[in-house]
Chains A and B, each alone.
Chain A
Amino acid sequence: MPGERTFRPSVEATAITLAAGLLAAALAPTAAHALGESTRFAVRSVLYDGGDPRPRESAPRRLGWEVRKRTSIDVHPDPGGARLDDPAIFDNPFLYWSGDEAFDPLSEAELAGLRRFVRFGGFVLIDDASPAQSGFDRSIRRELGRAFAGRPLRPLANTHTVFRSFYLLTRPEGRVRGPEQLSAIEVGDRVAVLYSRHDLGGAWARDNLGSWEHPVAPGGDEQRERAIRLGVNIVMYALCLDYKDDQVHAPFIMRRRGGGP
């Protein structure tokens, strides 16, 4: 495909990373012994009626794997799923809500659970696995309208902390290049619901043998890497919020973005 580039990590970057890893071996953190499963981060899927709540079944686990590999976050290896009316959602404040077709309206109990989850600090990542179709999008907008009347989804600027919470990114991308911006519902000064129409899970999904399950277009492996980085950034944002907006980070980030000394 014209214009498509194959992702090839720069030799320099790889060398630096490997060298840093080797040098740091002596200084590596202690093998941490977690205090229990509930202290770990988990990419738990939202289960619902009418439609496939897990169109990219391996995606949550693969995102967790990438987060664990790339960051210091301790991740639960098998996050599972829960319905919005299941009190278990309050045990782990991150939910991954995906689908590829229209689904049934949520029950009042599910809506109440969603409202309470968001109000008390939970984070919901919504991922449209079939952005070319409108079924899932219509259903999601309908349910968000029911749950958060008066708080519509709004475009999220690409300068938001989500795009610099770990990696420096310029726009959202997934299996498809998709819209220029993510959409979000904010509660107070935090993003509580983040909606992507880029099929992020399609870019993350990998079978047990390690092969990517879906091709990424138009950017190929580079775009896939950026999609993974966005996933990492979203997890990092859910856990650190606007940490990267703290004054101490500003000069470093500006310099790396080419906007400062």
Chain B
Amino acid sequence: MGGVDSAFSLGIPGGWPVAAGLALALGALAALGVARLRSEPKPGRRRLLAALRLGTAALAWVVAAQPTWRTPEYEESEGRLAVLVDRSRSMSLPRQGDARRARAEALLGRWAEDSGRAVAVYTFGDALAPAELSTLAQGIDARADESRLGASLARLLAEEDELGAVVVISDGADRSGFAIEGIETDGVRIHAVATAEDALRDDAVAEVSADPIGFLRRSAEVRVTVRSLGGPGGPIPVTLRRGDEVEREVVADVPPDGEAEVRIQFTPRQLGRAVYRVSIPRSTDDAVPENNERAFLVRVTRDKLRVLLVAGQPSWDQRFLRAFLKRDPATDLISFFILRNTTDMTMAGPDELALIPFPTDELFNEHLGSFDLVVFQNFEYGPYQMASYLPRIRDYVVRGGSFAMIGGPLSFHSGGYPDTPIAEILPVELPPSSAAPSSVVAEGDFAPRIVAGMEHHPLLELVPGPARNAEAWSRLADLSGINVVTRTRPGTATLLEHPSVTLAGGAPHPVLVLGTAGEGRTLALTTDTTWRWGITTGGETGDASAYERFWDRAIRWLSRDPTLEPARLTTDRERYGPGSSARVDATLRDARYAPYAEQGVAIVLDDASGQELDRREVETDRDGRVSTQLTVPGRPGAYRVRARLGARDEPIAEEWLVVEAGGDELADPRPDLARLEGLAARSGGTFVARPEDSPELSAFDTSRRRSLGTRERAPFTGPLGFGLVVGLFAVEWLLRRRWGHR
């Protein structure tokens, strides 16, 4: 145990400024008292009284200022030694000459022959793992796709007891962003043996940065950083490819031993996932040819959601929905309203009217496929010779389009849809064609009820939080009237139901039903009064936002907004190195957004042709969540991760990832000696610049200097100091009285 330099401070509140003020005040008081002693004729008495006065003042200051000495104390003891070896892919560099890994293996071999002391051995890459010295000496498996030195060291320090020192063998190239400087070693010495070469000749695509979402036929941009190490620099051609097809070629003017950024414009031409590759030529002396190419994924969507809204007559329901969709900058709305029927008497010739023919063929033949969503709002197809287009609309939905039918006097059965192709895709079944008109609607105001178990469906989430959301629903204005249906189709989800109208079997009549038809999504809303959730609710409560929130979520659900998908997969990264490990997290819920709780699922990795490359059988937790690791293949390219459920192996969610030859790990092949050197210096360890210069293991200092805390001494605090002040003052007072002073 030992101590070093002590630190001095004053304990008085306010510190030195207050102490200085107090000193001045006490000094002035003492001086005043001394000045009054001039009447004392005897010099001895005068000097004694003055001394007592000054001493009292000085002691009072010391007691008040509370001088304090703090001394840190340590315990030094011998601890165990651990060796931490880098097994990231950068250790396999350079490709020409001695690789970092080979030099580390030679050193480990030397230590293995002379391991006279117990030593714990670990490797790190993307994670910390125990190892054997002799095994590592025979060959370091340098395939880890990350160099998480900081995180691994922190974990080792936390998990290993009685450590005295850690010897790190690494190139120091931790690009994970971990703040290695902030690691608390608690007295454990970190010695660092750097495995680095004097110079590296490498051209690299150091970084590519592009928006993960691109828009069909809209120009996009990727920013590419090209780096040249140890070379003369100059123009380096940069090529952007989609698949094997060259999209663009530009030239980066790279300074010697420096880097340059180029911006490459490209235009996605197909919807869906697209893999782009950026590459530069390989020179013969390139130390890391793998990093001459990088890849990135773009999810290509339409820049705007294209919605076709067809309304059978102007109404408040149509008016508020159109106003909402027109205001939404992410929506491209094409709407057609039937403003007059063939029986209406306009009292005007065609040239006096601003009416146009209903372009059925253009909409439902030529351009149907360009829409993401078709909405029939209180629309009767019969008078417009549309029967021949209904199969096309059904097929459009089955192929992946979305369709919504909104109620009204011209909708559902009243729109003539029984026994039509539209009835096949609706999530509800309609009364037979022969049903009486009066039996296919139900009048009367009602407050729709959220179906039990659907409270968490995102479409119904008007505000965050179940309690607040329930309150928001309770404040909505009543709706009025519904189109009657006979039942919901199997596999659909009823979100809202009528509180009093029932189906034939006694079940509550549905108001809002979601379903699927083939690849497409469908929605049936059996009322035409949701507009009342806007102005009517707004008039009653002052907040009219519920209407737009409801329709925003409905449109997003219909258009498959990824954030509203019930089953989702995410990977910890988008790009991986060959053979590395990908962490996959899944949240799996059914169409009702009920979790697939405690169910067996397979997380599968497929290549682009659908061939299965890896598979993990796992079980979800109670919330339908599961995590697992997949091993990505060695061949660069795009791969699909899928969650497959149950005996039918049905895919319920998917995500894509990219395998790069180089990846982030090799994008910057330079070692980081300064990081290693700083780590050693801060912890009292030694830094060895080359493995060949490293001493034997036994030579590393494993004495741990552990802090025991701080000892604090404040001798003048407490009753003793105070008593001394009072005592001195009392003596002076008595003498003054005795000798005739006041």
Contact = CB atoms under 8 A, between A and B. Distances in A.
Given A74-B315, A240-B337, A30 B414 contact: yes
Interface residues of B, number: 72
Given A10-B349, A33-B441, A121-B535, A39 B342 contact: no
25 contacts: A21-B342, A23-B342, A30-B382, A30-B416, A30-B437, A34-B441, A35-B481, A36-B445, A36-B480, A36-B481, A37-B480, A38-B480, A39-B409, A39-B480, A69-B345, A70-B346, A70-B347, A71-B344, A87-B539, A165-B354, A166-B353, A166-B355, A167-B346, A167-B352, A253-B354
B346 to A, nearest CB: 5
Interface stretch (B131-139, B316-324, B639-647): B316-324
B315 A239 contact: yes
The 10 closest A-B pairs by CB, nearest first: A24-B342, A35-B481, A90-B539, A32-B409, A36-B481, A120-B538, A13-B349, A239-B314, A72-B313, A36-B480
A257 B318 CA distance: 28
Interface string A85-116: 00101111100000000000000000001001
A168 B323 contact: no
A241 interface: yes
A39 B319 contact: no
Contacts of B443: 35-36
Given A35-B528, A39-B481, A91-B536, A29 B354 contact: no
A71 B318 CA distance: 15
Given A33-B440, A38-B481, 18 more contacts: A16-B349, A16-B350, A17-B345, A25-B342, A29-B342, A39-B408, A70-B346, A72-B340, A74-B315, A91-B532, A93-B316, A166-B355, A167-B352, A167-B353, A239-B315, A239-B319, A248-B334, A252-B354
Interface in A203-246: 225, 229, 236, 238-244, 246
A27 interface: yes
Contacts of B416: 30
A90 B409 contact: no
B317 A39 contact: yes
Contact of A38 (B346, B529, B534): B529
B401 interface: no
A21 B319 contact: no
A241 B326 CA distance: 10
A236 B354 CA distance: 11
Nearest to B319: A239
Given A33-B437, A39-B529, A116 B347 contact: no
Interface in A111-130: 113, 116-117, 119-122
B431 to A, nearest CB: 13
Given A74-B315, A90-B538, A31 B437 contact: yes
Contacts of B415: 30
A33 B438 contact: yes
Interface in A1-23: 9-10, 12-13, 16-17, 20-21, 23
Contact of B410 (A30, A113, A229, A242): A30
A117 B314 CA distance: 20
A39 B445 CA distance: 11
A243 B538 contact: no
Nearest to A12: B349
A177 interface: no
Contacts of B340: 70-72, 166
A120 B539 contact: yes
A236 B337 CA distance: 11
A48 interface: no
B184 to A, nearest CB: 58
A164 B349 contact: no
A73 interface: yes
Contact of B383 (A21, A29, A87, A229): A29
Interface in B449-504: 477, 480-483
A73 B408 CA distance: 12
A28 interface: yes
Contacts of B343: 21, 24-25, 28-29
A116 B315 contact: no
A35 B444 CA distance: 8
Contacts of B388: none
A246 B343 CA distance: 25
A201 B326 CA distance: 32
> Chain A interface mostly helix, strand, loop or mixed?
helix
A34 B172 CA distance: 76
A110 to B, nearest CB: 13
Contacts of A39: 315-317, 408-409, 480-481, 528-529
B347 A225 contact: yes
Contacts of A83: none
Interface of A: 9-10, 12-13, 16-17, 20-21, 23-25, 27-39, 41, 69-74, 87, 89-93, 113, 116-117, 119-122, 164-168, 188, 190, 225, 229, 236, 238-244, 246, 248-249, 252-253, 256
A166 B312 CA distance: 15
B352 A29 contact: no
Contacts of B322: 240-241, 243
B348 interface: yes
Contacts of B342: 20-21, 23-25, 27-29
A165 B326 CA distance: 17
B352 A240 contact: no
A34 B529 contact: no
Nearest to A116: B539
Given A120-B544, A121-B323, A253-B354, A33 B409 contact: yes
A168 B534 contact: no
A198 B124 CA distance: 86
Contact of B542 (A21, A116, A248): A116
A71 B314 CA distance: 9
A17 B346 contact: yes
Contacts of B482: 35
B98 interface: no
A244 B326 CA distance: 13
Contacts of A248: 334, 356, 359
A116 to B, nearest CB: 6
A239 B385 CA distance: 26
A121 B319 CA distance: 10
B608 interface: no
A74 B443 CA distance: 16
B539 A73 contact: no
A225 B380 CA distance: 30
A249 B356 contact: yes
Given A30-B380, A90-B536, A120-B534, A190 B354 contact: no
A188 B527 CA distance: 28
Which residue among B316, B438, B538 has the maximum number of chain A CB atoms within 10 Å of its CB? Answer: B316
Contacts of B442: 35
Contacts of B354: 164-168, 244, 249, 252-253, 256
B519 interface: no
B77 interface: no
Nearest to A40: B315
Interface in B423-450: 437-438, 440-445
Contacts of A24: 341-343, 383
Contacts of A16: 349-350
Given A35-B407, A38-B529, A73-B315, A29 B347 contact: no
Contact of A34 (B409, B440, B532): B409
A120 to B, nearest CB: 4
Nearest to B415: A30
A35 B529 contact: yes
Contacts of A243: 322, 335, 337
B351 interface: yes
B99 interface: no
Nearest to B436: A33
A102 B164 CA distance: 96
B78 interface: no
Contacts of A246: 334-335
B540 interface: yes
B346 A72 contact: no
